[in-house]
Structure 1
């Protein structure tokens, strides 16, 4: 009996090591590029040995996602046990910072990006998406029991923004020493809790001129159609799910036509990122050149970008597509994303100087802005429930101009 217990323990430990190694690889190179051989090599096994624990790669990928969802559920449950919304928010952020600290100190495979769940077959992804929905429900409960449909919509937006902020934190945390994490944690909690403007709840976007970042009304070129179709499909299905065949079929062209415009799928993904970054940059510059104080200018930029994410026929590409790019291309995209975030930080610095933005850490706040905008595409169906598009934009943007703890 004792020997059986030891054997069972060894089996469990080895299985856990395999799941953790696979988690690291999925985060680094994506699901498609993760192979059983690579996982085996990472922990000193041969590929045949892996099949003793997981006979197929898709079983291993499901185990990776299940472990992450288990951890996310536990973290949400622990935070929800706190007595009030502020303590729940503080606890939840602290858990994610502590997790990142442990990873810096050598623990591996503790949290996996969920961006490619939708690339799995329908029956496989269904229970995983249901688990994620349960996590979202718990995070929404941080803010209390909604007493109206409007309040429920608001709490849903808050949960969505908070989850995305914590999923984006591992990316930009790389810019900080772990010695600075306690300070960054405090700044994140403050910004998420209370918002950005000096006058809480102030939201006064004005019309920006030109607006060429919006989709053109005239018939788009075939290349623009490829960019639109690929952006939407990658946002919905992830890199792996957005196959060349699917992209081509969605706009009724042949696979050969695709390769006439793009040598490879990675080239198309980079073109989508470039297009999205160009549009985001153009919106920022229009706001930079507008009149008024800097919170008013930033409000106008945020309004336009949320309008793109909610209602435009070509939204911005979600950063989840980064996961499948090779390291060189990924570094280039992240560098440009950081430059755009720094421009938002510039708006905030100038806003603090003119008194329209309260004293906050602009570098931390700029990353929260980026994650909030990035997450907005996933809230399209949420936005469709509003009779008025501006109301949807205002409700979602309130996470930035009022904060997650504004009493309603």
Structure 2
């Protein structure tokens, strides 16, 4: 519904228009609830209150909460797809990338000025029931593959695998921008867009840089095979939450994965929110360990950043105990969410500090370190969704090299050969 129609008083609308207007208002209210409290916080009662209807009236438009949730998320995916298709009309990969960021930042500006509805958070999509879950996951895959086609160099010089990796990293950087853009005034968005384009197009590697990272042991033998411990529960929970979302990962299901009782779970953890916080703490501790090992070395900033990045991608693509996806963040109560985000920002700031060191010593290209570090965090976070892609590569080393090259060497650049 366009802005002109939206301003027509309901009484002057035809019956079909009034139906569509109320349906749109319900979808917008549902999106606001999902953004505020995650899919678990979406209720028909809450949506009805937000639009001034009773629950029975809402069920006239959406018979069940699951249907409302699925349509709300599908609408969000369609918004991404519309922007990607519009950007794909530009004549070259350079202009397509530039147009894509321009369209998204125009939307971000209008959202900030209350001229457009916020993008719905897709975090809990995996928690939907079938067949809606598979349908929407396929819709998400489609927008990634469409973007990969748009990013293919005009001379066709890249592999499809690299094009897909570039699309994933770019889309995740745009989605994660919603989390850190509140630190900037809307008046600064054009500068942020330009800096983000520079990073995504050209990377942070200086001319002639060689990809030769060291893979660190960031877990230090913490896991004990066969022992049911707090760590064991965190592993199982991380896998389930990454795969099914917060809502799809019950205490019963986690206990069943380990073939233990619910009582055993509560012996180690107080409840589900405590579990998610513990999973975040464990993941963030591992990221911090990779960063500390890098900082304690005598290597250049370039080697420190690429080695810590490659080590974390090794964790993600190995998949025995991946990092917790930030999709779980939305499900936490608001009073707990802020602390988790602040810790994520501290890790980004540590990467930013490494980049500043590298710019000073000449081993990192001059980029905006704060924006680059947030994009790096988002690419590491999203890597777990790319596990099937990684397994399809010849070796894990090849997967880490290809995926890691997107931010290091840029979407418009060519990843260098691996050092012999």
TM-score normalised to structure 2 length:
0.92
Query: For residue 230 of structure 2, what is the aligned residue in structure 1?
Result: 223
Match of 1:346 among 347, 350, 353: 353
Please name the residue that 2:239 is paired with: 232
Matched, 1:199 2:207: yes
Match of 1:178 in 2: 186
Of residues 363, 366, 372, the one that matches 1:365 is 372
SS of 2:207's equivalent in the other structure is coil
The TM-score normalised by the length of structure 1 is 0.94
Report deviation, 1:236: 0.8
CA contact (8 A) 2:319 2:384 kept: no
2:291 is matched with 284
Q: Which residue of 2 aligns with 1:138?
A: 146
Contact between 1:20 and 1:108, CA under 8 Å: does it hold in 2? no
Match of 1:128 among 122, 136, 142: 136
Aligned counterparts of 1:24 and 1:109: Cα–Cα separation in 2: 9
Moved more, 87-96 or 263-272: 87-96
Alpha-carbon spacing, 1:148–1:177, altered in 2? closer, same or farther (3 Å): closer
The CA deviation at 1:270 is 0.3
**Structure 2: distance between partners of 1:254 and 1:221:** 11
Alignment of structure 1 residues 20-31 onto 2, 5 Å: 20-31=28-39
Q: Match of 1:303?
A: 310
Between 1:36-45 and 1:77-86, the stretch displaced more is 36-45
- Residue in 1 that maps onto 2:6: none
Displacement of 1:347: 0.4
Q: Write the distance in 2 (CA, Å) between the matches of 1:149 and 1:86.
A: 14
CA contact (8 A) 1:213 1:283 kept: no
Out of 370, 381, 384, the residue aligned to residue 374 of structure 1 is 381
Pairwise CA distance, 1:107? 3.9
Counterpart position of 1:97: 105
Secondary structure of the equivalent of 2:159? Answer: helix
Cα distance in structure 2, aligned partners of 1:214 and 1:331: 31
Give the distance between the partners of 1:147 and 1:84, measured in 2 at CA: 10
Partner residue of 1:387 out of 391, 394, 408: 394
1:5 deviates by 6.4
**For 1:69 and 1:214, how far apart are their aligned partners in 2?**
41
Post-superposition offset of 1:303: 1.0
- Is 1:72–2:72 an aligned residue pair? no
| Cα RMSD for the two superposed structures | 2.1
Moved over 6 A (4+): 145-150
Q: Which residue of 2 aligns with 1:314?
A: 321
8 Å CA contact retained: 1:36, 1:57:
yes
Gaps of 5+ in 2: 1-10, 416-420
Mark the CA change 1:134 to 1:232 in structure 2 (over 3 Å): closer, same or farther. same
**CA 289–219 in structure 1, closer or farther in 2 if over 3 Å, else same:** farther
Give the CA deviation at 1:222.
1.8
Q: Is there any run of 5+ residues in structure 1 with no aligned partner, and where?
A: none
What per-residue deviation string (whole Å, max 9, x for no partner) do you get for residues 63-106 of structure 1?
A: 10121121111111001111111111111111221111111111
Deviation at 1:385, TM superposition (A): 1.3
Give the direction of change, closer, same or farther, for the CA distance of 1:108–1:263 in structure 2 (3 Å limit): farther
How far did residue 45 of structure 1 move? 2.5
The CA distance in 2 between the partners of 1:278 and 1:227, in whole Å, is: 13
Q: Judging changes above 3 Å, is the alpha-carbon distance between structure 1 residues 166 and 221 closer, same or farther for their aligned structure 2 residues?
A: same
Distance 2:199 2:221 in 1: 29
Structure 2 residue aligned with 1:9: 17
Report Cα offsets for 1:32-66 as digits up to 9, x if no partner.
11111111222232323222222211111111012
Distance of aligned partners of 1:121 and 1:303 in 2 relative to their CA distance in 1, 3 Å threshold: same
Match for residue 265 of structure 1?
A: 272
Q: Is the 8 A contact 1:272 1:317 kept in 2?
A: yes
The answer to whether 1:244 aligns with 2:251 is: yes
Q: Distance in 2 between matches of 1:140 and 1:77?
A: 11
Distance 1:160 1:96, change over 3 A: same
1:39 and 2:27 are equivalent in the alignment? no
